[in-house]
Structure 1
Amino acid sequence: MSLWSARVSEGLDPAVVEFLRADDGELLPYDCAATVEHATRLCAAGILSAAELAEVEARLSPNANGVVICASDEDVHSAIERHLAEVGRKIHAGRSRNDQVAAALRLYIVDACAEARAAIALLSALLLERATAEDSTLMPGYTHLQRAQPVTLGHHLRAWAAMLERDHARFEPPVGSPLGSGALAGTTLPIPPPEAQIPNSLDAVADRDFALDYLYAAAVLFVHLSRIAEELVLWVTTEFGFARLPQSAATGSSMMPHKLNPDVAELVRGKAGTAIGRLTGLLATVKALPLAYDRDLQEDKPPVFAARKDVAGALAALTVLLADLEFDRDALAAAAADPSLLATDAAEALVAQGIPFRDAYEQIAASVRDGAFEPGTTAAESVAARLPK
């Protein structure tokens, strides 16, 4: 069914029906919740009776027989109105699908943000736990993917956790309700406003900043996860040998019997590009839309739905991988024993003796270039002097 069919005398061509059909089934529980809230306000205005409100609450309760979206339904909103039967013919008073979908999507993103924050917190806590166990495990720190200065594995894992801490803060749930805005300019009916009503009705139905904010948070999260994943891919190679893949989070080759592949890390890395694309895609969709609502905004939901799925899946799989990953402390220590890692310490030791830094730098650089550099300290002593306890 469509909610606007009385406006036309002829039906749409089937190709047009199929093209316009919304893929919005994931909004169903959130649209039901927003509809119950709207019904409560209709009852307060005397448009629904107490018995009709009770019927709406019962029919849309999460414990009731659920709304079934049929092939004839244009969208989830149409399915809800059909499911409510006779009282459904009253439920749309004072509202439009424009404020209805904005309200439902906001509720969806509130849940998606809470879900992301919980999963990020789990992964971050795991990293901090593993970091504590590796606070004395020496390894090289890198710049330009070249050995630079000694650090500890614990310090490196804490850098990963620091990125995730910022991601956790970035998944801030949206606030405010667009209900009461109607199609664009409110309603003449004496319906009480919802709590925290968005003050401008045009903005309330047109705004998709909250969806963009969620996609931005997901994109930056995936950028961070991709950086972590890239290092994991490197560390488990024979060339680095810093870690060994767990069988709980690695796959084999269909042809080469000896292979164990870091597919979790690789797919996380690959999904970062997709996450960035979803954000740029929706930005391009909304960049030139006139106020208030335009059908272009039907394209806001698929990227949000897909982002929520990928955020949950990537964080869960990466948590398994990092929980079961085995670090090779001997290989890390051997790499950290490279004397060139202590060249900066040697230059700073000369500075401490009163030699200008550039002179000290040139003196140590010449000894490194000539193969004559001998450090005056150890990697462990260097780390103890530089890194926080």
Structure 2
Amino acid sequence: MLAAQNEAIEAGDFVWRTDREDVHMNIEAALTDMIGEPAKKLHTARSRNDQVVTDLRLWCRDAIDSILFHIKKLQVVLVYLAMRNEGLIVPGYTHLQRAQPVLLQHLLLSYVEQLERDAGRFIDCENRLNFCPLGACALAGTGLPIDRFMTSDALGFTAPLRNSIDAVSDRDFVLEFLSASSIAAIHLSRLGEEWVLWASEEFGFLVPSDSVSTGSSIMPQKKNPDPMELVRGKSARVVGDLITVLVLCKGLPQAYNRDLQEDKEPLFDSVKTIMGMLEVTAEFAQNITFNHERIQRALPLGIWMQQPSPITLLRRTSHDIVGRCVAFCLSKDCQLSDLSLDELMAIDPVFEKDVYEFVGVNNSVSKFCSYGSTGSACVSEQLSYWVSKLGISTDASE
């Protein structure tokens, strides 16, 4: 009979009576109808205050597990995307100006790193929220000899909360959850912004498939990356949910206050939104290609040169020499690789015939060797790390 009532609640068929004060009284009354007087023991050593916050912590725990699943899924998609684009060099940007060439794999793995920190914040939040308020009752505990450690263990909590006042009034775990969600949403928004830019006619680096783009009702030439625009926009919702609960909690005295019922709607909304953002981003990433020709045309517009010889010059001296080379190239409207050795030596005698091993996009990228840099060997190590950590296949075609 109890299972049937649970199924009725989950299916939305349970009859909630308004003459009964709240959900707790409806459940107790339904149980009383089923088993009689013993059901009235249900509320022993309990209060709505500790029951609601216990349920909320259990709900958050499950929600975090779902979010972590979607974060890992997106990480896997990004790693596969990196594997499918081995060797592709793209302009790296600072201040939205072309700065240095980088491997696309390196850029994609930077998103994976951000997501890993997001996952870590959710895990930390889950560890801190996994303490049981049940048995704190209204705020002061109870005179009955209950075993709070037994109920805590039965519900999978680490331990009961030590202070009964704190147990019913604390919503730090909600704020921390919303904060972790907001940071993750900001990361997804930044990714969305970059890919929206890259899909523009001005960049043309990224081409979304028809399944993840929309056209215009009056401009048939357009192919809009709408999903990532929506991801970018939805981030505002998640941040707004955090602000709502921050403001809600800022003026509350201890212990429980009815204001706290207002923490549910923004919390539920943020979880629904962040999971949608993660799903949409993963779907979009699985349905894009990179325009190698357009990217290649963009690369020569920058003038890149690694230090022209093994480390024998001070960094500032090298910077000055390369700066003079760049100025000379701009005056002649050419690239460094177009200059003769005589022209380079006229700028500074430090140059030798091996200078052409250091000039140009491919040579520049190949010379990066510091830990975590965009050099091919370094990026290969990064990629291997993520393949192992995420437990994914090395078949880039999957």
TM-score, normalising length from structure 2? 0.77
On the 8 A contact 1:229/1:269 being kept in 2, the answer is yes
Q: What is the CA-CA distance between 1:213 and the residue it aligns to?
A: 1.4
Q: Using a 3 Å threshold, how does the CA distance of structure 1 residues 268 and 64 change in structure 2: closer, same or farther?
A: closer
Structure 1 residue 178 and structure 2 residue 133: aligned?
A: yes
- Residue 300 of structure 1 corresponds to 263
Q: Summarize the alignment of residues 288-367 of structure 1 with structure 2, pairs less than 5 Å apart.
A: 288-340=251-303, 342-343=304-305, 345=306, 348-349=307-308, 352-354=311-313, 356-367=314-325
Question: Structure 1 stretch 379-388 or stretch 113-122: which is displaced more?
Answer: 379-388
Q: What is the CA-CA distance between 1:169 and the residue it aligns to?
A: 1.5
Q: Using a 3 Å threshold, how does the CA distance of structure 1 residues 260 and 81 change in structure 2: closer, same or farther?
A: farther
Q: Using a 3 Å threshold, how does the CA distance of structure 1 residues 200 and 231 change in structure 2: closer, same or farther?
A: same
On the 8 A contact 1:167/1:217 being kept in 2, the answer is yes
Q: What is the CA-CA distance between 1:116 and the residue it aligns to?
A: 0.3
On the 8 A contact 1:225/1:268 being kept in 2, the answer is yes
Q: What is the CA-CA distance between 1:259 and the residue it aligns to?
A: 2.2
2:336 aligned counterpart, secondary structure: coil
Q: RMSD over aligned Cα, in angstroms?
A: 2.3
1:91 aligned counterpart, secondary structure: helix
Question: Structure 1 stretch 186-195 or stretch 126-135: which is displaced more?
Answer: 186-195
CA distance in 1, matches of 2:177, 2:10: 31
- Residue 127 of structure 1 corresponds to 78
Given residue 68 of structure 1, which amino acid in structure 2 is its aligned partner? Answer: F
Q: What is the CA-CA distance between 1:143 and the residue it aligns to?
A: 0.5
Q: What is the CA-CA distance between 1:128 and the residue it aligns to?
A: 0.7
Aligned residues: 330
1:254 aligned counterpart, secondary structure: coil
- Residue 81 of structure 1 corresponds to 28
Q: Using a 3 Å threshold, how does the CA distance of structure 1 residues 379 and 179 change in structure 2: closer, same or farther?
A: same
Structure 1 residue 251 and structure 2 residue 214: aligned?
A: yes
Structure 1 residue 136 and structure 2 residue 87: aligned?
A: yes
- Residue 70 of structure 1 corresponds to 16
Match of 2:336 among 357, 369, 374: 374
Could you list the runs of 5+ residues in structure 2 that have no partner in the other structure? 153-158, 338-355, 369-374, 381-398
Q: Segments of 4+ in structure 1 off by > 6 A?
A: 61-67
- Residue 38 of structure 1 corresponds to none
Could you list the runs of 5+ residues in structure 1 that have no partner in the other structure? 1-54
On the 8 A contact 1:177/1:197 being kept in 2, the answer is yes
Given residue 352 of structure 1, which amino acid in structure 2 is its aligned partner? Answer: I
Q: What is the CA-CA distance between 1:286 and the residue it aligns to?
A: 1.1
Q: Summarize the alignment of residues 165-314 of structure 1 with structure 2, pairs less than 5 Å apart.
A: 165-172=116-123, 173=126, 174-193=129-148, 194-195=151-152, 196-314=159-277
On the 8 A contact 2:50/2:168 being kept in 1, the answer is yes
CA distance in 2, matches of 1:204, 1:248: 48
On the 8 A contact 2:98/2:302 being kept in 1, the answer is no
Q: Using a 3 Å threshold, how does the CA distance of structure 1 residues 380 and 169 change in structure 2: closer, same or farther?
A: same
Identical positions, percent: 39
- For 1:222-247, what per-residue CA distance to the aligned partner results, in whole angstroms no more than 9, with x for missing partners? 00000100011001111101011111
1:118 aligned counterpart, secondary structure: helix
Question: Structure 1 stretch 57-66 or stretch 246-255: which is displaced more?
Answer: 57-66
On the 8 A contact 1:242/1:329 being kept in 2, the answer is yes
2:46 aligned counterpart, secondary structure: coil
- For 1:256-277, what per-residue CA distance to the aligned partner results, in whole angstroms no more than 9, with x for missing partners? 2232211111111111122111
TM-score, normalising length from structure 1? 0.79
CA distance in 2, matches of 1:59, 1:223: 42
Structure 1 residue 149 and structure 2 residue 100: aligned?
A: yes
Given residue 213 of structure 1, which amino acid in structure 2 is its aligned partner? Answer: E
On the 8 A contact 1:135/1:155 being kept in 2, the answer is no
